[in-house]
Structure 1
Amino acid sequence: MSRFRKLSQSIWHCQYHIVFVPKYRYRILSGAIGHEVDRCIRAFSEQKKVEIIELNVQIDHVHLLVMVPPKVSLSDYVGLVKGRTAIRVLNRFRQLKKKPYWGNHFWAKGYCIDTVGLDAEMIRKYVKYQERNEKLHEQLQLF
């Protein structure tokens, strides 16, 4: 199978590594909140016909490795994912809105995005195994 995808007028291979964090990089993306974030990202990506290659919701940030069709603007895609996920999470977990510093914002402004070229497999492994490596590093620091 070719690594390229086809549209009616073009063939494409547009792969991106995207990272974004909760406001103030709070460590809240675990348990039910993390599961809801994962579920929402998958649903909204499917709506835009964005293929998720790897998704890793860590306690204080999200890694996405995605193939985005060229007809979808990256900023629109990230805005949709962050905006609609925030609405869903804040409606489902109303206790998050009660904190005076939180307000109606769930994600920090901005995001990091990187194009993926020939090193796609290396980035995929990084996204998939980063959490395990961070936990191991934290445990080693305790000793």
Structure 2
Amino acid sequence: MATKANSLAHTKWLCKYHIVFTPKYRRKIIYNQYRASIGEILKQLCGYKGVEIIEGHLMPDHI
């Protein structure tokens, strides 16, 4: 697990976020058609911004 805190001159912080993507009406389309591509897209976006994904799950009705 990431424990590296970021810091500036007078501050120190460790930010962790829990993000859930949910399709409208929680349709199960994500699990069937887009499962592999969504994971790759999220990894690419996090790589561009220098964000570390600690844990990820894909459920039938939300990510």
Specify if TM > 0.5.
Answer: yes
Q: For the aligned residues, what is the CA RMSD?
A: 2.1
Instruction: Give the 5 Å matches for 1:64-75.
Output: none
| Large movers: runs of 4+ above 3 Å | none
Report if the CA contact (8 A) 1:29-1:61 is conserved. Answer: yes
Give the TM-score of the pair, scaled to structure 1. Answer: 0.37
Unmatched 5+ stretches in structure 1:
63-143
Instruction: Give the 5 Å matches for 1:54-69.
Output: 54-62=55-63
User: Identity rate of aligned residues, in percent?
Assistant: 33
Q: How many residues align?
A: 60
Unmatched 5+ stretches in structure 2:
none
Structure possessing the higher radius of gyration over alpha carbons:
1
Report if the CA contact (8 A) 1:27-1:59 is conserved. Answer: yes
Report if the CA contact (8 A) 1:34-1:59 is conserved. Answer: no
Which residue of structure 2 aligns with residue 16 of structure 1?
Answer: 17
When you count strand as a share of all residues, which structure comes out higher?
A: 1
When you count helix as a share of all residues, which structure comes out higher?
A: 1
Higher relative contact order (CA closer than 8 Å, sequence separation 6+): 2
Report if the CA contact (8 A) 1:34-1:57 is conserved. Answer: yes
